[in-house]
């Protein structure tokens, strides 16, 4: 993979470049702010970008906004956002924007996850290939938020588990391993989730992502709280 890194901390930037190079990937640019990230992506058209949420000048959500812009302007570039803290609304923003542009190709992970090199690189590959990679913690929080408004009436507990793992971006095989059930059973649950969300086979490729988004979209994360005068239910 050809990768662009955007991270304002020099040590983390160097560390990321090292682990990615170690796994045989090419880091075409490593930058320290959102503006340089945009120009690096414009110039190199990488397969994936690894983006820190907090970057200069405002140190708030520059990375999320840059990620959304990249997904809009460069459909071929997957964006993996990573952050010291998990903020549900950042994840919701990112997923919402991804849904608008055909969904997928985005990920949101806690920074610590880079400590597990193989898992991190695998998540990055998934995002580069147009899949999703959500931190388990993000998924927990998002699902908790949507359960509040829905009463979780529609899904069974098992389907809920399957959906949570789907939201993390896992394949059916990986879900089967995690839940210690057969892959056939996973497929059954997934099909049931799709039908409960009225996702027809014509949505083919992105049905998994759409299912997750549809489920999460009903939570209070949307409309996004925190804006002046907003009132969330």
Partner 1 sequence: MRKLTGRPGRRQGDETMQPPTRPAPWIARSVSTEFGRRHVKGVAITRLLVGIAAVTLGSIFCASGHWWGALLFVPAALNLWFAYLMPRWKRALDDLKSGPRVRELERSRALVVDDAAARLRRIEQDLHDGAQAQMVAVVMKLGLARDHLGSAVAESGRGDLERVLERALELVDAAHRGAMEAITELRDLAHGIHPPALAEGLGAALAALTARSDFPVELVLDLPERPSAAIEVIAYFCAAELLTNAAKHSGARHVTLETTHHPGLVTLRVSDDGTGGARIEAGRGLAGLADRVKTVDGRMRVASPAGGPTVVTIELPSHA
**CB closer to partner 1 out of 134 and 145:** 145
| Residue 229 beta carbon to partner 1: minimum distance, rounded to whole angstroms | 5
Using CB under 8 A, list all residues that contact partner 1.
Answer: 8-9, 11-12, 14-16, 18-19, 22, 54, 58-61, 84-85, 87-89, 111-112, 114-118, 141, 144-145, 147-148, 220-221, 225-233
**CB closer to partner 1 out of 59 and 205:** 59
Listed residue (95, 29, 42, 100) closest to 70, CA to CA: 42
Integer Cα distance of 23 and 55 in angstroms: 26
- Per-residue DSSP letter, 48: E
In contact, 209 and 103? CB cutoff 8 Å: yes
| Residue 207 beta carbon to partner 1: minimum distance, rounded to whole angstroms | 26
Residues contacting residue 106 through CB under 8 Å, at least 6 positions apart: 67, 71, 78, 79, 80, 81, 94, 95, 98, 127, 132
Beta bridge partners, 81, equal 51, 108
| Residue 40 beta carbon to partner 1: minimum distance, rounded to whole angstroms | 21
**CB closer to partner 1 out of 15 and 130:** 15
Taking only Cα atoms into account, the Rg of the chain, rounded to an integer number of angstroms, comes to: 17
**CB closer to partner 1 out of 201 and 228:** 228
| Residue 161 beta carbon to partner 1: minimum distance, rounded to whole angstroms | 18
Integer Cα distance of 3 and 5 in angstroms: 7
| Residue 135 beta carbon to partner 1: minimum distance, rounded to whole angstroms | 13
**CB closer to partner 1 out of 108 and 194:** 108
């Amino acid at each position: 993979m050809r990768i662009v890194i955007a991270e304002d901390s020099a040590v983390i930037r160097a560390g990321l470049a090292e682990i990615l190079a170690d796994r045989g990937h090419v880091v075409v640019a490593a930058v320290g702010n959102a503006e340089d990230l945009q120009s690096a992506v414009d110039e190199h058209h990488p397969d994936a970008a690894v983006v820190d949420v907090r970057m200069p000048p405002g140190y708030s959500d520059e990375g999320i906004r840059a990620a959304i812009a990249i997904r809009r302007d460069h459909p071929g570039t997957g964006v993996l956002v990573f952050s010291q803290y998990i903020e549900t609304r950042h994840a919701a923003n990112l997923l919402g924007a991804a849904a608008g542009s055909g969904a997928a190709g985005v990920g949101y992970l806690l920074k610590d996850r880079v400590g597990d090199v193989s898992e991190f690189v695998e998540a990055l590959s998934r995002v580069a290939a147009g899949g999703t990679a959500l931190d388990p913690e993000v998924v927990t929080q998002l699902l908790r938020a949507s359960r509040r408004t829905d009463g979780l009436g529609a899904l069974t507990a098992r389907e809920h588990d399957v959906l949570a793992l789907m939201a993390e971006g896992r394949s059916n095989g990986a879900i089967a391993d995690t839940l210690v059930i057969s892959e056939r059973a996973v497929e059954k649950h997934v099909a049931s989730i799709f039908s409960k969300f009225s996702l027809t086979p014509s949505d083919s490729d992105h049905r998994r992502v759409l299912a997750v988004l549809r489920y999460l979209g009903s939570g209070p994360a949307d409309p996004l709280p925190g804006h002046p005068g907003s009132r969330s239910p």
